[in-house]
Amino acid sequence: MEKRKAPRFPVQFILDFLGQYSVGAGSVSNLSTTGCMVGSDLVVLAGWSLKLRLYLPDQDAPLVVDQAVVQWSRGLAFGVEFLAMQLREQERLHRFVSALETQPGH
């Protein structure tokens, strides 16, 4: 079994994505500082490169991931690894995930 690079936390919020082969939306069901799992009504294939906008709860602007790669795909679910984002977006993501870590049960 592959060990994850960072712990993932259960979440529920929407995102949209843009890639060479598809444009779509979905929902994020778990999140870490290095990636997330997405459910969508589109099939997305492993190896695809995507740009993501994550609509984090209680935040005005979406968090933008300039480049993510699809690591795995099963039906309408897929997992992405975040490869590139602006420093301010990385900081926002780290703050959001740090807040998840401090919630009861984690």
Task: Tell me which amino acid residue 93 is.
Answer: L
Query: Token pair for residue 80?
Result: 């992405």
Break the chain into its structural domains and give their ranges: 9-101
9-101, which class in CATH? mainly beta
The answer, yes or no, to whether residue 12 has pLDDT greater than 50, is yes
Angle of CA points 48, 40, 57, to nearest 5°:
105
Block residue for tokens 């099963």: 74
Residue 20 has pLDDT above 60, yes or no: yes
* Measured CA distances, 91 to 35, 48, 69, 84, 95 (Å): 14, 25, 20, 13, 6
Q: How many CB atoms lie within 10 A of CB 13?
A: 17
Is 70 exceeded by the pLDDT of residue 1?
A: no
Label residue 4 by pLDDT band (50, 70, 90).
low
